Structure 1
Amino acid sequence: MTVQSDSLVHVYTENGITTVTLNQPEKRNSLSMAMLERLSEVFTALEADEECRVVVLAASGKVFCAGHDLREMREQFNRHEFQQALFRQCAKVMQQVVNLPRPVIARVAGVATAAGCQLVASCDLAVAESGARFATPGVNIGLFCSTPMVALSRNVSRKHAMEMLLTGEMIGAERAEQIGLLNRVVDAETLDETVYSLARTIADKSAYTVKTGKTAFYRQLEMPLEQAYEYTAEIMASNMAACDAQEGIAAFLDKREPDWQDR
């Protein structure tokens, strides 16, 4: 068991599952520059952490994440270089989530708006309590949610993404599940049970195979159909040469549990 905690983020690893918790409920877990930099450090460390097999991204308090820290942004109104650096740092963190070789599951309780909604959309899987709500409300304050749009439009259909972006209206968890932003919606009382059951199911797989599959999934999405099949055929051929593929096939045929070596 490994525990790291500070005023920004709490990190806890047990049985191969690392929970990364946004830890500023008094600031609605907003993505300030300091929070983004800390998250980047955490995800960089997790890339090399062999103890970690699955990541659960959670938040303390009643708000999952309210997006960027508008007070901080207002203080920097006249510093274009700060605004550029802020959004680039946010983009870096979102891409780190996607590129992390471990699956990331968002555990959503409360509200996720703007860049907070972007964070949920960037995760590989997302489970929310029934009372959770989501929005990309930048249009309401004259600041279109352009960077959240990147993750949102890659998870839900164009028309649903545009409706959220153009209206800025809040949607409930059930609607978020219907349009593809969430995998599951559960009662608040069973949120942890559902999230960690899902995490344990994935953690029990070959880490090598999961890493291979996650990487290939996102790469093929951006390819034309023919190129995607060429790429994934080569990935599968290479995967077949791996120790875990051979062990998994043998175990299946021999009707026994596989002994993963993660290679």
Structure 2
Amino acid sequence: MFETVLYEVAEGVARITLNRPEARNALSDQMVDELLEAFGRARADDAVRVIVLTGAGDRAFCAGADLGGLGQAQREGRSVADPDAVRASAPYRLFTAFPGLGKPIIARLAGHAVAGGLGLAAACDLVIAADDVKLGTPEVNVGLWPMMIMAIVNRNVPPKHAFKLYYTGQRISAAEGREIGLVTEVVPRAELDARVDGLARVIAAKSPLGLRKGREAFFAIEGRPLEDQVAHLLGELVELAGSADAKEGISAFLEGREPNFQGR
């Protein structure tokens, strides 16, 4: 179905794989288009309750954008001064898509995540990394700056740690990434798949409606005054409490059984 992305669904989990291992899964315009299409497919499929995003091979999760592609854009004189051009750009479409996914998304890092690849991983809700994986923002080493991914990384990492990444361009270990907020869990490489699959199953067993509404609320309150946050969340809680899933969950708890959530 796709040329640069693999898509498969099993047991409520959509596994999306960046499939350009020969290019360290670097992001091309085609890959972004196909990745967004895969996201849309997972969002629309009621059988999908969790998304796992990974990269083909063990060398790289994603090495960011092709520098050659950036040079081509400059040679063709493409401008981002026009707001329509900004919204049409691959980075804008990719990184602004995550809040609206409608499903929890887990990044599985079996390979290094650098530059835009680090931003892609950090945009996911959870990041599970093999213990030998490296992370970094090497843009400064070629006279650039991690402009696009700062919007994502800065939401996860305290400023002093972020600036060290940006200024030095040095790679850090997955364990260091966990310490500063980029990574959720670090596991031995041999245990990576079991941990990701187990976590996906745990999440997939929850109410799809509760997960979707809660995730949407998480992004909706960002940057708003406390009073607005509380008011918004109260309204969402009242609506969710009246759902069939909430009633089923409460009944199952009182009856000492597992709930059978239907996503409504």
**Taking structure 2 as the reference length, what is the TM-score of the superposition?**
0.93
Q: Is the 8 A contact 2:61 2:110 kept in 1?
A: yes
Gaps of 5+ in 1: none
Aligned 1:78-97 pairs, distance under 5 A: 78-81=75-78, 88-97=89-98
Aligned 1:181-260 pairs, distance under 5 A: 181-260=182-261
Residue by residue, what CA displacement relative to the aligned partner does 1:151-174 show, whole Å, maximum 9, x if unpaired?
000111122112211221111100
CA distance 1:192–1:82, change in 2 (3 Å): farther
CA distance 1:32–1:239, change in 2 (3 Å): same
Separation of aligned partners in 1, 2:105 and 2:176: 22
Residue by residue, what CA displacement relative to the aligned partner does 1:169-221 show, whole Å, maximum 9, x if unpaired?
11110000001111100000000000010000000111011001111111122
Residue by residue, what CA displacement relative to the aligned partner does 1:117-159 show, whole Å, maximum 9, x if unpaired?
0001100100000011111111111111111111000111122
**Taking structure 1 as the reference length, what is the TM-score of the superposition?**
0.94
Q: After alignment, is 203-212 or 253-262 more displaced? A: 253-262
Corresponding position of 2:141: 140
Separation of aligned partners in 2, 1:222 and 1:79: 37
Alignment of 1:68 with 2:69, yes or no, is no
Separation of aligned partners in 2, 1:92 and 1:187: 34
Alignment of 1:45 with 2:46, yes or no, is no
Instruction: Look up the SS of the partner of 1:194 in the other structure.
Output: helix
Separation of aligned partners in 2, 1:86 and 1:206: 33
Question: Given residue 18 of structure 2, which amino acid in structure 1 is its aligned partner?
Answer: L
Corresponding position of 1:175: 176
Question: Given residue 20 of structure 2, which amino acid in structure 1 is its aligned partner?
Answer: Q
Question: Given residue 32 of structure 2, which amino acid in structure 1 is its aligned partner?
Answer: L
Separation of aligned partners in 2, 1:86 and 1:222: 22
Q: Is the 8 A contact 1:136 1:148 kept in 2?
A: no
Aligned-pair CA distance for 1:91: 2.1
Question: Given residue 58 of structure 1, which amino acid in structure 2 is its aligned partner?
Answer: T
Q: After alignment, is 72-81 or 172-181 more displaced? A: 72-81
Question: Given residue 184 of structure 1, which amino acid in structure 2 is its aligned partner?
Answer: E
Separation of aligned partners in 2, 1:87 and 1:142: 25
Separation of aligned partners in 2, 1:255 and 1:181: 37
Instruction: Look up the SS of the partner of 2:95 in the other structure.
Output: helix
Aligned-pair CA distance for 1:112: 0.7
Question: Given residue 102 of structure 2, which amino acid in structure 1 is its aligned partner?
Answer: P
Which of 6, 10, 13 is residue 10 of structure 1 equivalent to?
A: 6
Question: Given residue 124 of structure 1, which amino acid in structure 2 is its aligned partner?
Answer: D
Aligned-pair CA distance for 1:86: 9.6
Q: After alignment, is 73-82 or 222-231 more displaced? A: 73-82
CA distance 1:86–1:10, change in 2 (3 Å): farther
Question: Given residue 47 of structure 1, which amino acid in structure 2 is its aligned partner?
Answer: R
Count of residue pairs the alignment pairs up = 259
Identity of matched residues, %: 37
Q: Is the 8 A contact 2:86 2:92 kept in 1?
A: no
Q: Is the 8 A contact 2:87 2:93 kept in 1?
A: no
Q: After alignment, is 209-218 or 39-48 more displaced? A: 39-48
Separation of aligned partners in 2, 1:119 and 1:12: 20
Corresponding position of 1:19: 15
Question: Given residue 50 of structure 2, which amino acid in structure 1 is its aligned partner?
Answer: V
Aligned-pair CA distance for 1:82: 6.8
Question: Given residue 70 of structure 1, which amino acid in structure 2 is its aligned partner?
Answer: L
